[in-house]
Amino acid sequence: MATMQYTEIAMQPGKRLALVAHDNKKADLLDWARTHRDQLAGHRLCATGTTGRLLEAELGVAVERFQSGPLGGDQQIGARIVEGEIDFLVFFWDPLEPQPHDPDVKALLRMAVVWNIPMACNRATADFLVSSPLMAAGYVRRVPDYGGHLARPIAG
């Protein structure tokens, strides 16, 4: 069995954070962001549509906004992760409420794992991650080298 190779990607002290919340979790995310306003201020924030608008109003900071999740915002954030333009994902998703765009949600979570970015899906994890000394420091993230996957033979 071949050993997995890795690429190292440097994350700067000012991280690029994506913040996403389902409708039933928006109040939780806003409360969390209010609690951690000072820690978030040193980072570049982006969010899906309504969540971004609410965060800008609540925190008084600039938030790059994508489309609403069901209109493609989750996929826009996933693409930014693949392009190396997002370092960290906070996604308060509602496990008890089916979403019409569940495949997009699953794809976004998958991209965060594939590209090995820190991800918090609930408040406790988000608290731990944003409070980590690594948030304010540089960090070298190891990403699997998917060259073997890309070079695999294609069955015809």
Please answer whether residues 17 and 46 qualify as being in contact, where contact means their C-beta atoms are separated by less than 8 angstroms: yes
CA atoms of 3 and 67, how far apart (whole Å): 39
- The three-class DSSP label of residue 125 is helix
Helices in 5-145 by DSSP H: which ranges?
26-35, 37-40, 49-59, 73-82, 102-114, 123-130
Residue the block writes with tokens 């609690």: 35
The single-letter code of the amino acid at 136 is A
- Is 31 catalytic? The answer is no
Tell me which residue of 120, 58, 61 sits closest to 88, measured CA to CA: 120
Q: Which member of 28, 31, 38, 74 is catalytic?
A: 74
Q: Return the DSSP state at 11.
A: E
> Which residues are tagged catalytic?
74
